[in-house]
Amino acid sequence: MLKRQGIYIIAGVIALFVALHLGFPPDHHAPRTTGTVMMGGIAYLLMTCAILLSTRLAVFEDWFGGLDRMYQVHRMVGVLAALTALVHFFAVPRELPPGVDPIANALAPSAPLGMLGLIFLVIGLFIALNRKIRYSRWRPTHKMMALVYLLLTGHFVTAPGVFFERFSVSGVLLMIAAAAGLVALVYSIFGMNRRTALPYRIEAVNALERATEVVLKPVGDKLAFTPGQFAFVEIEGKGWNEPHPFTISSAPGEEHLRFTMKVLGDWTRKVREELVPGGDVQVRGPYGRFDAAQAGAKQIWLAGGIGLTPFLSKLRAMEAGDPRQIHLVYAAREESEAIFLDELKARAAELGNITLVPLYSDQGAFAKVEVMREKLPDPLETYEYFMCGPKPMVDGLMGDLKKAGVPRARIHTEAFEFR
Ligand SMILES: Cc1cc2nc3c(=O)[nH]c(=O)nc-3n(C[C@H](O)[C@H](O)[C@H](O)COP(=O)(O)OP(=O)(O)OC[C@H]3O[C@@H](n4cnc5c(N)ncnc54)[C@H](O)[C@@H]3O)c2cc1C
């Protein structure tokens, strides 16, 4: 779901810092020092926000509209932090004001800590934004950002008084941010942010067209979730590496948990080729806020390829008499690739409030606004949209729907990637 509270909170904290910093500047600071220290403070606050977002706390999911959105904002504030830190570095005055002892100043560790922090921040950002690095390699290197945060905390805490006034009003705000950021850092770096794992056993591995359905049976407690949520799946045994996120495609009431995994890289290929029933799996979750239950009476569910999985769970969970009128637009390359098509048709016939709109690109039918305008009975702006699919498709539709007069608040997306 689109939620903006989180963004407003971040903007509010930055605005508060700026107001306090400019409203109560330390007497002896020259205007340039005030301005450049302010940029450094903003960079630090943004980094703190990025760290807080890596905690995966449920309350943050509520504020930001799900973990996928939290990671998008995490990336955005990380980039902004690096840019403001660079402005701070290049603009801060090098010459010391009269009366400041240059030797005492040179002995303060602030400058080298800041310099190292900035170098690692820029390197870390290049790595973070480089999609060519495989996820399994990228993830450990991204943890270097924890070191950056420690270095930058050391930088401002040890800064000479002429540059940074620790007990000014804005300085106290930074100290509070540092305390929160350090706690959050320990929490996520030591894995305390991962929700408790529930043990499951592999009941079946079903090969579908370019995807694999993994059916899991609970060993103890069942995972409680709402349709559309996802979980991290960790397969026990050699060579399975880190947990991977997958939307739960079964309904909450089912005894088994089902995931439908498209073959994309090494891990998902290994699932298809090597996974056999009987093995143990840890499931961590649930995460996500892609919830259509409370949304408007007329909904469009737009699934591109494997983006069908959140809607599968919703359809499987839906009871007869649901008052919503739903058009499920299902875009696939060709009919043979449209997984669970027979089940979708059967559910649509059984429930009565679902209209299935398949679009196959090999027949020239693409998920485009013009095509939808043709296929849907009412004007586009009368529906509420839920979209999940390849990024170019979702981004393109988002832009075109907005141009067609659909308010952004009525378009909800689920991204199948965190980077
Ligand atoms: C919220 C969410 C829900 C998803 N639901 C589904 C689903 O229902 N069905 C489905 O087929 N796919 C789903 N995915 C995508 C799925 O996680 C990736 O396709 C899978 O992890 C790829 O792993 P790989 O090693 O085979 O491929 P790779 O080629 O190694 O990875 C492809 C891409 O997948 C992502 N990825 C890889 N490993 C991880 C990881 N450990 N953690 C996070 N992201 C990773 C990265 O963006 C990477 O670029 C979902 C992803 C997210 C974020």
The rounded distance, in Å, linking the Cα atoms of 295 and 301 is 12
- Which of 267, 282, 340, 388 is the best mutation target for the ligand 1 pocket, counting ligand atoms within 8 Å of the beta carbon and taking the most? 267
The rounded distance, in Å, linking the Cα atoms of 304 and 392 is 10
For residue 97, the model assigns a pLDDT of 67
What spacing in Å lies between the alpha carbon of 232 and ligand 1's midpoint?
A: 10
Q: Is the pLDDT of residue 225 over 70?
A: yes
Q: Could you tell me which residues are beta bridge partners of residue 358?
A: 330
Q: Is the pLDDT of residue 419 over 80?
A: no
Say yes or no: domain 298-414 is CATH 3.10.310.10.
no
Q: Is the pLDDT of residue 77 over 90?
A: yes
What spacing in Å lies between the alpha carbon of 1 and ligand 1's midpoint?
A: 20
Percent of the chain with pLDDT over 90: 72
What spacing in Å lies between the alpha carbon of 277 and ligand 1's midpoint?
A: 22
Higher pLDDT, 16 or 124: 16
Q: Which CATH number fits domain 5-189: 3.30.70, 2.60.120, 1.20.120, 1.10.3470?
A: 1.20.120
197-287 homologous superfamily: Translation factors (2.40.30.10)
Using 50, 70 and 90 to split pLDDT, how confident is the model at 194? confident
Q: Name, in order, each residue with C-beta under 8 angstroms of 306's C-beta and a sequence gap of 6 or more.
A: 211, 260, 261, 262, 339, 416
For residue 15, the model assigns a pLDDT of 98
For residue 154, the model assigns a pLDDT of 95
The pLDDT mean for the chain works out to 91
Report whether residue 75 contacts ligand 1, using a CB cutoff of 6 Å: no
- In a 13 Å sphere around the CA of 19, the CA atoms on its Cβ side amount to 6
Please identify, by atom number, the ligand 1 atom nearest to the C-alpha of residue 232: 42
Q: Is the pLDDT of residue 92 over 90?
A: no
Give yes or no on whether 197-287 and 298-414 have one common fold. Answer: no
For residue 73, the model assigns a pLDDT of 95
Output the pTM of the full model.
0.91
Report whether residue 229 contacts ligand 1, using a CB cutoff of 6 Å: no
Report whether residue 386 contacts ligand 1, using a CB cutoff of 6 Å: no
Q: Is the pLDDT of residue 99 over 70?
A: no
Q: Is the pLDDT of residue 105 over 80?
A: no
What spacing in Å lies between the alpha carbon of 87 and ligand 1's midpoint?
A: 35
Most confident of 112-116, 129-133, 188-192: 112-116
Report whether residue 274 contacts ligand 1, using a CB cutoff of 6 Å: no
Report whether residue 273 contacts ligand 1, using a CB cutoff of 6 Å: no
What spacing in Å lies between the alpha carbon of 47 and ligand 1's midpoint?
A: 26
Report whether residue 232 contacts ligand 1, using a CB cutoff of 6 Å: no
Contact 238, 274 (CB under 8 A): no
- Which of 136, 264, 289, 414 is the best mutation target for the ligand 1 pocket, counting ligand atoms within 8 Å of the beta carbon and taking the most? 264
What spacing in Å lies between the alpha carbon of 244 and ligand 1's midpoint?
A: 6
What spacing in Å lies between the alpha carbon of 29 and ligand 1's midpoint?
A: 50
What spacing in Å lies between the alpha carbon of 264 and ligand 1's midpoint?
A: 8
Question: Domain spans of the chain?
Answer: 5-189, 197-287, 298-414
The rounded distance, in Å, linking the Cα atoms of 229 and 286 is 6
Higher pLDDT, 12 or 29: 12
What average pLDDT does the segment 206-227 reach? 95
For residue 219, the model assigns a pLDDT of 97
For residue 98, the model assigns a pLDDT of 67
What spacing in Å lies between the alpha carbon of 416 and ligand 1's midpoint?
A: 7
Q: Is the pLDDT of residue 2 over 90?
A: no
Q: Is the pLDDT of residue 36 over 70?
A: yes
Percent of the chain with pLDDT over 70: 97
Q: Is the pLDDT of residue 392 over 90?
A: yes
For residue 345, the model assigns a pLDDT of 96
What average pLDDT does the segment 94-121 reach? 82
Q: Dump pLDDT digits (tens) for 326-341.
A: 999 999 999 999 999 9
Report whether residue 168 contacts ligand 1, using a CB cutoff of 6 Å: no
CA distances from 163 to 13, 242, 377 (A): 22, 44, 64
Q: Is the pLDDT of residue 95 over 80?
A: no
Using 50, 70 and 90 to split pLDDT, how confident is the model at 222? very high
What average pLDDT does the segment 172-188 reach? 95
What spacing in Å lies between the alpha carbon of 243 and ligand 1's midpoint?
A: 10
Report whether residue 181 contacts ligand 1, using a CB cutoff of 6 Å: no
What average pLDDT does the segment 267-284 reach? 95
- Which of 75, 242, 261 is the best mutation target for the ligand 1 pocket, counting ligand atoms within 8 Å of the beta carbon and taking the most? 261
Report whether residue 240 contacts ligand 1, using a CB cutoff of 6 Å: no
Residue of 212, 250, 214, 418 whose CA lies nearest to 343: 250
The rounded distance, in Å, linking the Cα atoms of 312 and 165 is 56
For residue 27, the model assigns a pLDDT of 67
The rounded distance, in Å, linking the Cα atoms of 59 and 99 is 49
- Which of 232, 268, 309 is the best mutation target for the ligand 1 pocket, counting ligand atoms within 8 Å of the beta carbon and taking the most? 268
